[in-house]
Copies of this chain bind each other. A is one copy, B any other.
Amino acid sequence: MTLEPAGQLRGVFAAVLTPLTAALEPNLKPFIAHCRWLLANGCNGLAPLGTTGEANSLSLAQRLTLIEAAAAGGLPLGKFIIGSGSCALADAVTLTRSIVASGGGGALLLPPFYYKNPSEDGLFAFFSEVVQRVSDNRLRLYLYHFPHLSTVPITIPLIARLKAAYGEIIAGLKDSSGDWNNTATLLKEFPGFGVFSGSEEFLLDNLRAGGMGSISATTNVTAPLAQPVYAGWRTEKAAALQKSLTEVRLLLQSFPAQAALKEVVARLTGDAQWRTLLPPNMPLSPAQRSTLAQKLEALPQMRAVLSAARAA
């Protein structure tokens, strides 16, 4: 395994799915089992309770329950960057505090996303309040830049102000813009900043530019293909490994993310309950299901992953 510089999270992270019961509650046992499978099959760390984890569709109580279950289940939370975003300041504080108290490696924090075009001062105030109210030097905050969904970008001047005010507590950023140029600019502007790409499509580019790796929805499925890219990124094979990984990523991202990934895990585990989503997300149609299965099986590198997962 790759050596990790002390104190900084690096590598391949899956934005972990949240399995649900028929009553739409987080399903804790399959959640922990899935986390273990990911850690044993290519993930250096995990990022539950983000966009893929349907965190904003879960109540505060449900999210706290999941964090506590992960800790009680013996998962290595020091390797976890856990979502704590909420439009409500008080809830973002409660979640972030719970993550620190549980030994979480980092908290992934969205900007408040209801009001549009907030001022930089307003966003600085929000993140500042979270840091100051949590008031714990163990806190490592990862800013969550996902403008397509949050509608509120994390800009370079905002990052600079936060880093100037709170130093190493502002540990990094997940760049889910899908725009490699944005990631490259961040890495040039803030050397050593913990920048993860939001897609494993940019894993190799990210590492070469001094970034930390990727935190990705599709890594719920692609982890065994992503790890060789991370482990071998300085080798000659890296580009070919990345190409093979990207092929799977591009196929998966042509489907609705949460539904497609839950569909694949449902097939692999034989547990149909995995298909359940919180509204407004909906499961794949039967036609989408079979198209997805056919297309995945048509990729040799994915066929190998699926067959190994089924055997496990």
Contacts and interface: CB of A to CB of B under 8 A. Distances in A.
A57 B88 contact: yes
Contacts of A86: 59
10 interchain residue pairs of minimum CB distance: A122-B280, A118-B280, A125-B279, A126-B279, A59-B90, A56-B114, A56-B87, A59-B88, A122-B282, A59-B91
Contacts of A150: 114
A115 B149 contact: yes
Given A59-B86, A118-B279, 11 more contacts: A57-B88, A57-B112, A58-B88, A59-B60, A59-B91, A60-B91, A62-B88, A118-B280, A123-B279, A125-B282, A129-B279
Nearest to A126: B279
Contact of A279 (B61, B94, B113, B122): B122
Contacts of A112: 56-57, 279-280
A111 interface: yes
Given A114-B56, A125-B280, A89 B24 contact: yes
Given A112-B279, A115-B149, A88 B56 contact: yes
Contacts of A278: 89
Main secondary structure of the interface of A (DSSP, over half): loop
A87 B62 CA distance: 13
A171 to B, nearest CB: 21
A89 B56 CA distance: 9
Contacts of A114: 51, 56-57, 113, 149-150
Interface in A238-291: 278-282
A90 B58 contact: yes
Nearest to A91: B59
Contacts of A24: 89-90, 129
18 contacts: A56-B87, A57-B87, A57-B89, A57-B112, A59-B89, A59-B90, A59-B91, A59-B94, A60-B60, A60-B91, A61-B90, A112-B279, A114-B150, A115-B281, A119-B282, A121-B282, A125-B280, A152-B280
Given A57-B114, A59-B60, A149-B115, A89 B125 contact: no
Contacts of A151: 151
Interface in A67-111: 86-91, 94, 111
Nearest to A110: B114
Nearest to A63: B88
B57 A281 contact: no
Nearest to A123: B280
A198 to B, nearest CB: 15
A91 B150 CA distance: 19
A116 B176 CA distance: 15
A24 B62 CA distance: 24
Nearest to A146: B114
Contacts of A90: 24, 58-59, 61-62
Contacts of A61: 90
Contacts of A94: 59
